[in-house]
């Protein structure tokens, strides 16, 4: 067994080469696939939609917030990989009484790079993890942000309205694109807003994310009534919030978005 420290600064004892891994986080599930772990991953969540072949074939152990402990036990994992924000603390505490649980804590790009490298170390795929890290870093170094910054409100939920606030991975991605925050005065990482509170934000642009709430064309009009005249765009939530190997696509997506906004 190895003794490792996760991103929550917890000490975790894990096998030298874990062979029965469960992932409780969609972006990290895709990373495990891209690391080439194949049959070594035995369980995922119902929200782990990438890659499609795993979504269709791997055992699903519930959701990110409601893990089915019985299904986990039946799979007899020797490593569970989760995340501080995306998983429920009570679930994690129950799981770690029986299994090694390694948790990530990712609020910015550098912490995402650290997570990728550490998962590579955990799973014995260091060369693959380093290649993924290097590719993402290169893509972000080439990203050209807005020449004239725009203030943005990034919506993640409706009823109630919720926006991405400070100290979040989404906020870091917005910063790297050249957007400025209209939420610095709001408490919490994902503030809830009333219609009146939303109206006074007065952003230059509104970004409606495809997840966790699936904003679509029909939602644009309701936001436009509160912020008349403000440009509103539907954006790919995976590009802004998935902090695993999907980031290899994110910088290119951001570049296209910024061109569309008239960089």
Residue 131 in contact with residue 36, Cβ under 8 Å? no
Which part of the chain is CATH 3.40.50.1980?
2-139, 150-260
Contact present, 110 and 133 (Cβ < 8 Å):
no
Going edge to edge, which strands form the sheet with 21-23?
59-60, 41-44, 21-23, 79-83, 101-104
Q: Which two tokens mark 72?
A: 């986990």
Q: Which residues lie below 8 Å from residue 175, measured CB to CB, with a gap of 6+?
A: 181
Q: How far apart are CA 27 and CA 31, in angstroms?
A: 6
Cα–Cα distance, 126 to 23 (Å, whole number):
18
pLDDT in tens, the chain (263 residues): 889 999 999 999 999 999 999 999 999 999 999 999 999 999 999 999 999 999 999 999 999 999 999 999 999 999 999 999 999 999 999 999 999 999 999 999 999 999 999 999 999 999 999 999 999 999 999 999 999 999 999 999 999 999 999 999 999 999 999 999 898 788 889 999 999 998 888 899 999 999 999 999 999 999 999 999 999 999 999 999 999 999 999 999 999 999 988 76
Termini Cα distance of the chain: 51
User: CATH code for 2-139?
Assistant: 3.40.50.1980
Kindly give the residue spans of alpha helices, DSSP state H, lying in 78-168. 89-96, 109-123, 126-142
Which architecture characterizes domain 150-260 according to CATH? Answer: 3-Layer(aba) Sandwich (3.40)
């Amino acid at each position: 067994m190895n003794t490792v420290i996760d991103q929550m600064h917890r000490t975790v004892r894990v096998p030298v080469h874990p062979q029965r891994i469960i992932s409780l986080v969609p972006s990290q599930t895709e990373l495990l696939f891209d690391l080439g772990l194949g049959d070594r991953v035995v369980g995922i969540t119902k929200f782990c939609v990438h890659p499609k072949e795993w979504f269709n074939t791997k055992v699903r152990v519930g959701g990110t917030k409601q893990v089915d402990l019985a299904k986990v036990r039946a799979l007899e994992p020797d490593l569970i990989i989760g995340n501080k924000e995306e998983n429920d603390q009570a679930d994690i505490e129950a799981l770690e009484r029986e299994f090694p649980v390694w948790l990530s804590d990712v609020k910015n790009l550098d912490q995402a790079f650290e997570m990728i490298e550490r998962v590579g170390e955990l799973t014995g795929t260091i060369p693959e993890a380093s290649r993924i890290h290097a590719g993402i870093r290169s893509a972000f170094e080439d990203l050209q942000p807005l020449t004239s910054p725009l203030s943005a409100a990034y919506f993640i939920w409706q009823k109630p309205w919720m926006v991405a606030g400070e100290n979040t991975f989404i906020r870091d991605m917005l910063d790297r694109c050249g957007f400025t925050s209209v939420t610095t005065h709001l408490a919490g990482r994902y503030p809830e807003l009333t219609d009146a509170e939303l109206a006074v934000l007065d952003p230059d642009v509104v970004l409606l994310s495809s997840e966790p709430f699936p904003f679509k064309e029909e939602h644009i009009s309701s936001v436009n009534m509160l912020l008349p005249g403000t440009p509103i765009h539907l954006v790919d939530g995976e590009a802004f919030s998935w902090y695993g190997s999907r980031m290899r696509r994110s910088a290119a997506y951001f570049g296209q978005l910024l061109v569309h906004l008239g960089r």
